């Protein structure tokens, strides 16, 4: 008997909640609030996210520095408006420490799945996997995994009550357990592709990204990736269907699934975020957004001369005055020996 279902998938939204570009201070069709207006959910629908949600915009930075003044967690409120069912953590979700992560997870209606994160403090609402039975009776097994390079990048104090274990080994053990209990097996992996998808050429063997290895060696039907900020609308890797949405909540993936007997198949499309948002939680979060805009408008210093516009070629050949300014500020404020900056 054929059973169909759909999945909305986001990843690496990086704090993009309101439909605004903070660099240009111009409105744009993006953000979780606008995305929420496009989710059409029923009993055979899952809404999933691949992590890296807390870091990336002035709004989330401001909120996390002043969270006691604001009763609503903006990221959680936006995901709750989307009807998010399950999500995993990204490497940047650990950037603000244990308490910030704990408060975020408590504010979420959806369930955090991350099979290679062990909570040593006992306060994080994280599960290794879940089996979700849809209205049509289909059993969907879901797990989440984050790249274990969190251990390489993250400040040690942010991981004092957290242990991040080997991503592949954790995914393998969980896949074996899930397979016995579900019809369709899904992995939300905050990591990317270590091979060129068109040719199979190895791009990196560092272990940071393992999507091709997971697809090749583990028995997942659907692999929802992230981390690399690539647009992968859909690709079949050794019998596993894999996707990845681009970053910053400008697009999302709409996946249509079909299950027949013992076989599943998928189609997917990248969809642009539109111009409409629901009244709530937009109105409830608007005072926070206004406070962020006021904060961004505060002068922090003055230049005694004008820095003229620089082309990319000119900056590459002769250096960039803007980059030099940023580096000097970073050196002065942090006491570092070296500073490096990117102008995007």
Q: What pLDDT does 310 receive?
A: 86
With respect to residue 285, please indicate whether it lies within any of the assigned structural domains: no
Q: Are 137 and 274 contained in the same domain? A: yes
Name the domain boundary from 279, 314, 334: 279
Q: Are 185 and 311 contained in the same domain? A: no
Q: Are 313 and 250 contained in the same domain? A: no
With respect to residue 94, please indicate whether it lies within any of the assigned structural domains: yes
Domain count of the fold of the chain: 2
Name the domain boundary from 279, 312, 331: 279
With respect to residue 327, please indicate whether it lies within any of the assigned structural domains: yes
Q: Summarize the confidence of residues 252-274 as an average pLDDT.
A: 97
With respect to residue 288, please indicate whether it lies within any of the assigned structural domains: no
Tens of pLDDT along 120-170? 999 999 999 999 999 999 999 999 999 999 999 999 999 999 999 999 999
Tens of pLDDT along 283-336? 999 999 999 999 999 998 889 989 888 888 888 888 899 899 889 999 999 999
* Domain at 201, CATH number: 3.60.21.10
Q: What pLDDT does 271 receive?
A: 99
Q: Summarize the confidence of residues 58-73 as an average pLDDT.
A: 96
- CA dist 344 and 342 (Å) reads 6
Q: Are 320 and 261 contained in the same domain? A: no
Q: Are 174 and 221 contained in the same domain? A: yes
With respect to residue 254, please indicate whether it lies within any of the assigned structural domains: yes
Q: Are 251 and 316 contained in the same domain? A: no
With respect to residue 290, please indicate whether it lies within any of the assigned structural domains: no
Indicate if the pLDDT at residue 188 is higher than 90: yes
Q: Are 313 and 172 contained in the same domain? A: no
Cβ(3)–Cβ(258) below 8 Å: yes
Name the domain boundary from 224, 244, 279: 279
- CA dist 70 and 67 (Å) reads 5
Strand-pairing partners, residue 130, are: 142
With respect to residue 294, please indicate whether it lies within any of the assigned structural domains: no
- CA dist 155 and 177 (Å) reads 33
**Which residues, in sequence order, are CB contacts of 79 under 8 Å at separation 6+?**
32, 49, 53, 87, 108, 109, 110
**Which residues, in sequence order, are CB contacts of 135 under 8 Å at separation 6+?**
42, 43, 44
Q: Are 275 and 313 contained in the same domain? A: no
Q: Are 114 and 159 contained in the same domain? A: yes
With respect to residue 299, please indicate whether it lies within any of the assigned structural domains: no
State which residues form the domain around 98: 2-279
Strand-pairing partners, residue 202, are: 195
Q: What pLDDT does 313 receive?
A: 87
Q: Are 54 and 105 contained in the same domain? A: yes
Task: Please provide the average confidence, as pLDDT, over all residues in the chain.
Answer: 97
Cβ(276)–Cβ(34) below 8 Å: yes
* Cβ neighbours, 10 Å, residue 71: 8
Q: Are 336 and 261 contained in the same domain? A: no
Q: Are 271 and 308 contained in the same domain? A: no
Q: What pLDDT does 344 receive?
A: 62
């Amino acid at each position: 008997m054929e059973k169909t279902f759909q999945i909305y998938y986001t990843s690496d939204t990086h704090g993009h909640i309101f439909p605004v570009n903070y660099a240009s201070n111009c409105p744009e069709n993006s953000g979780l609030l606008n995305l929420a207006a496009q989710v059409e959910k029923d009993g055979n629908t899952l809404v999933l996210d691949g992590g890296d949600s807390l870091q990336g915009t002035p709004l989330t930075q401001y909120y996390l520095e002043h969270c006691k003044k604001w009763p609503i967690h903006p990221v959680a409120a936006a995901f709750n408006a989307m009807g998010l069912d399950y999500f995993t953590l990204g490497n940047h979700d650990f950037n603000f420490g244990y308490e910030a992560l704990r408060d975020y997870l408590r504010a979420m209606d959806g369930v955090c799945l991350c099979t290679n994160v062990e909570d040593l403090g006992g306060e994080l609402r994280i599960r290794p996997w879940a089996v979700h039975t849809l209205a049509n009776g289909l059993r969907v097994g879901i797990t989440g995994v984050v790249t274990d390079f969190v251990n390489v990048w993250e400040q040690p104090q942010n991981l004092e009550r957290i242990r991040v274990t080997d991503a592949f080994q954790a995914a393998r053990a969980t896949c074996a357990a899930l397979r016995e209990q579900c019809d369709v097996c899904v992995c939300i992996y905050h990591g990317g592709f270590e091979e060129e998808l068109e040719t199979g050429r190895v791009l990196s063997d560092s272990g940071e990204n393992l999507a091709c290895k997971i697809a090749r060696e583990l028995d997942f039907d659907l692999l929802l990736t992230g981390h690399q900020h690539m647009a992968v609308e859909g690709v079949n890797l050794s019998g596993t269907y894999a996707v990845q949405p681009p970053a910053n909540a400008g697009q999302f993936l709409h996946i249509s699934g079909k299950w027949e007997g013992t076989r599943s198949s998928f189609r997917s499309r990248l969809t642009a975020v539109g111009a409409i948002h629901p009244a709530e939680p937009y109105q409830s979060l608007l005072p926070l957004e206004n406070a962020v805009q006021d904060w961004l408008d505060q002068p922090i210093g003055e230049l005694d001369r004008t820095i003229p516009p620089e082309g990319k070629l000119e900056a590459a050949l002769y250096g960039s005055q803007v980059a030099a300014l940023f580096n000097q500020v970073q050196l002065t404020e942090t006491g570092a020996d070296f500073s490096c900056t990117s102008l995007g």
